[in-house]
Amino acid sequence: MKKPSNIIKLTPILIACSLVLTGCKTTEVRRVDANQEVALSDKWNGKDSQLVSEAMINDMLSFPWVRDHLTKEGTRPAIIIQSVRNKSHQHIAVDTFLNDLKRSILRSGQADFVASADLRGEIRNERKDQELNASLETQNEMGQEQGADYALSGTINSFVDEQGGSRVTFYQVDLRLIDMTTNREVWNGQKKIQKVQERSSYGF
């Protein structure tokens, strides 16, 4: 029987080679464009946030509510973000997504944003401080805030289908815009993202 003996002889060499190969891997850091997608897993990532926000805002601004508001009020509509709830199975930085949304709207120049309740409170405190400490010419008056015309809210949901090393993850973002005077839903947007992850059972 020659084979077992050869295997026994070769095994230590194979192990040594594998150890050398794995040992060669060192830490490496590269700078990449923030817009370039680096997907290491099927988790929600920065690119998803950016793509969804751009698609949503394009859709939102294509609806007639902006034109109707301009015709009726003569000013750009002001929007407040109420809440976007993460109902998915992944931890998603909702704030980052909301900031992407705001940037897309502000860049379009067709609507304004009103600060959130927390931020408004901080700014009011700052104005109170100005009343006491700033010169009259540079003071900002109280009671001159712009009220929001529309409220934006929504949810992020997900579904997962998994079999062995294959996993399909489906994210669905639903947003809606409500007219704060009439409670009319003037826009409802939906964006879906599907990702497939394949994992190998064995690796080197």
Partner 1 sequence: MKLSAKDASLNSITTQVLKLFLLLATLTCLSACNVTHFEKNNAISLAQKGELTSARTAIKRHYSSQGKNRLLYHLELATYFQLEKDYQQSNKHLTHAKDLLESFYTVSLSETALSQFSGPTYTTFHGQKYYRPLLHVMKALNYNALAIAQPENRPALQDSALVEMRQLNLYLEALTDETGGYNPSVNDKLTNQIYAILKPILAPKALLSNIDYRDDAFAHYLSGVINEQNGELDSARLQYQRAASAYENGFAEQYQLPPDTTKQAYNNLARVMTKSGGYEIELERLKGKIDPQQQNHLSQLTVIQNIGVAPQRKQFNLVLTADHDSKALVMTPIPFGTHAERQAQIQWFQMLFADTSIFDMIQNYTMGDGSDVALGFVTKRLPLGGLWDNAKKVGLIDALQYGARISVTYLAPPKERIKSTEIWVNGQKHSQLHPFHSIELLTVQNALKNANTEIQLALTREIVKAISAQKLLQKTGLQQHEVFGSLAKFATSAVNAVTAAADTRQWQSLPAQIRVAQIPLPTGEHNIIIKTQLNSGRVINQTEQVNVSGQMSLWQTRTFIDAPPQSKSSTSSSIFNLD
The residue ranges that bind partner 1 (CB under 8 A) are 1, 4-5, 8, 11-12, 14-15, 18-19, 21-22, 83, 85-91, 94, 118, 158, 160, 162, 165, 199-204
Tokens for 10, please give them.
Answer: 């070769």
Residue 80 CB, shortest distance to partner 1, in Å, is 16
Beta strands in 53-165 (DSSP E): 78-87, 112-113, 150-163
Residue 84 CB, shortest distance to partner 1, in Å, is 10
Nearer to partner 1, 79 or 156 (CB): 156
* Nearest-angstrom CA–CA distance, 71 and 191: 29
Nearer to partner 1, 86 or 130 (CB): 86
CA-wise closest residue to 167 among 200, 203, 204, 192: 200
Residue 12 CB, shortest distance to partner 1, in Å, is 7
Nearer to partner 1, 156 or 186 (CB): 156
Nearer to partner 1, 95 or 137 (CB): 95
* Nearest-angstrom CA–CA distance, 171 and 156: 7
Residue 189 CB, shortest distance to partner 1, in Å, is 21
Residue 113, strand partner residues: 79
Q: Are 114 and 146 in contact (CB under 8 A)?
A: yes
